[in-house]
Structure 1
Amino acid sequence: MTTFKSMHHTARKRMVIKLGGSTLEGLNEAFFKNFKKLQDSGVELIITHGGGPAINRQLAARQIESYALNGIRVTTEAAMEVVQSTLLGHVNPALVHELTTAGITAIGLNGFDGQLLVADFLDKDIYGFVGSVQSVNTTLLESIIAAGVVPVIACVGVNLKGQGLNINGDIVASEVALAISAESLLLVTDVAGIRIQDEYQTEATAALIAQWIEEGHIYGGMIPKVQGAIECLNAGIPSVQIVGDSLEGTTIIRKLEDAML
């Protein structure tokens, strides 16, 4: 992946917060309070988000079929129109409004804005209008961050011909985090991290996670979350956390022995 580099450099801590579709619809006062607290402490924050439930409702209303393959939404041309109009026209503005109401200056963005997320087809024959990130316009992000504004990025990319492409939310979050050299990535879910035998874990390694999956302690929807977190660590992000709306939860770290797995 290539990036548009800027000359600006900052020593302040940076954090990317990824909000999933189901989480977006359940954000409460505690989330915005903790978000504001992080910002006031000097952390530079970037939000990325999807909007699965909202997209599903619009697809159903228009009787457009959709299904997932390998964790990716297969996106026909008709479905892409719904994804784009829903995320850019409804979900993103609503989230920006909530942040603004909570006293957080934010701006909604997507791949079309200043070629923020240039993408290419992941595999058109298999996935349709699904994109793979080719570049992130870090110059644009740097200028927004420097102005004290929180970028709120919808997971829609654009190719060089101007075609919108649906991009997996976790991929957008990790690509943005890597491009801007974020110290940490927070994956916000509806649970406060990894829970083993009714006790939430403050820290986990890839080796422990593999053991917990094998023993059946991690199951269901938590499996792709932890696997995605490990992939982000392996890509070079120093710290990945799975958190609830308190923005606290389980920190997944990559130790030397994990690198040898």
Structure 2
Amino acid sequence: MLEGLNDQFFMNFKRLQEEGNQLIIVHGGGPAINKELARNNVTSTTINGIRVTSKEAVGIVQSTLIGKVNPALVHELNKDGIVAVGLSGYDGQLLECTLLNEEIYGFVGEIQQVNTSLLDTFLQAGVTPVIACIGCTADGHALNINGDTVASEIALAMKADSLLLVTDTPGIKINDVVQEMVTQAEIDNWIETGDIFGGMIPKVQAAVECLQSGIPSVQIVGEKLVGTVIISQEVNA
């Protein structure tokens, strides 16, 4: 999605800020990572939308996200008049992590704590934090973390009013039709039937977890920053 961001995205982002919203961006970088892994002849698989990350692969993920993807996005934001700063889990102990399950996933992290005071400092100064989804162990070893998982954990820690999961489609598509509003029960059913699959699974799971934990509004959106609203239960007409 990062490579496809256009003027409309940045225009809508600025509009949200001008309406008084404080915004935090969390990003991954799948295509760029895949390219670098291939260039270095490192193979990688995914399980339930989570990239299995070997010791060799995590170094490539770290250097790609922090060294290439993050500064490129920060540059684009700054160029469009949005004051932004690039961060990762290393900066200011932003993300305190442990290994999710080394036997299954390798060097993939599970967030234990978010340094919300650091993010508050930037937001109060009118600066947009742009966070790469890299964490680290207590001894400083890099950990790859699914971008949607990082976004949901940060949203929960910050007690955000809204979480927007930005993807390359304008929402959840079922039979090629974007759904304006869906329920938890429908999501569970579509995962079982295979209508929701691959990278969309952690997106919808992150959305549901945030709803259950008290985030008032969760959406899966495209570049217009509007899309599918996910609600926790059926709405009676």
Q: Find the aligned partners of 2:138 and 2:190 in 1 and give their Cα distance.
A: 43
Provide the residue aligned with 1:3 in structure 2: none
Aligned length: 234
Provide the residue aligned with 2:178 in structure 1: 200
CA deviations over 1:54-97 (Å, ceiling 9, x no partner): 01110100001111123211111111110000000000000000
Provide the residue aligned with 1:130 in structure 2: 108
Provide the residue aligned with 2:154 in structure 1: 176
Provide the residue aligned with 1:45 in structure 2: 23
Provide the residue aligned with 1:238 in structure 2: 216
Q: What is the Cα-based RMSD across aligned positions, in Å?
A: 2.0
- Seen in structure 2, the aligned counterparts of structure 1 residues 214 and 110 have a Cα distance that, compared at 3 Å, is closer
Instruction: Say yes or no: does 1:251 pair with 2:225.
Output: no
Q: Find the aligned partners of 1:142 and 1:90 in 2 and give their Cα distance.
A: 25
Q: Find the aligned partners of 2:177 and 2:234 in 1 and give their Cα distance.
A: 26
> Any unmatched runs of 5+ in structure 2?
none
Contact 1:115 1:158 in 2 (8 A): no
Provide the residue aligned with 1:11 in structure 2: none
Q: Find the aligned partners of 2:88 and 2:8 in 1 and give their Cα distance.
A: 26
Provide the residue aligned with 1:166 in structure 2: 144
- Seen in structure 2, the aligned counterparts of structure 1 residues 28 and 131 have a Cα distance that, compared at 3 Å, is same
Deviation at 1:219, TM superposition (A): 3.9
Deviation at 1:204, TM superposition (A): 1.8
Instruction: Say yes or no: does 1:71 pair with 2:49.
Output: yes
Provide the residue aligned with 2:94 in structure 1: 116
The 3-state SS of whatever aligns with 1:45 is coil
Q: Find the aligned partners of 2:178 and 2:37 in 1 and give their Cα distance.
A: 36
CA deviations over 1:127-171 (Å, ceiling 9, x no partner): 211110011101100100000000000000112111111111111
Deviation at 1:197, TM superposition (A): 5.9
Contact 1:213 1:223 in 2 (8 A): no
> Any unmatched runs of 5+ in structure 1?
1-22
State which of 38, 42, 50 in structure 2 corresponds to 1:60. Answer: 38
Q: Find the aligned partners of 2:175 and 2:39 in 1 and give their Cα distance.
A: 41
Instruction: Say yes or no: does 1:146 pair with 2:124.
Output: yes
Provide the residue aligned with 2:84 in structure 1: 106
Provide the residue aligned with 2:6 in structure 1: 28
State which of 153, 167, 190 in structure 1 corresponds to 2:168. Answer: 190
- Seen in structure 2, the aligned counterparts of structure 1 residues 34 and 64 have a Cα distance that, compared at 3 Å, is same
Q: Find the aligned partners of 2:182 and 2:80 in 1 and give their Cα distance.
A: 32
Deviation at 1:210, TM superposition (A): 4.1
More moved, 61-70 vs 38-47? 61-70
Q: Find the aligned partners of 2:76 and 2:55 in 1 and give their Cα distance.
A: 31
Contact 2:152 2:207 in 1 (8 A): no
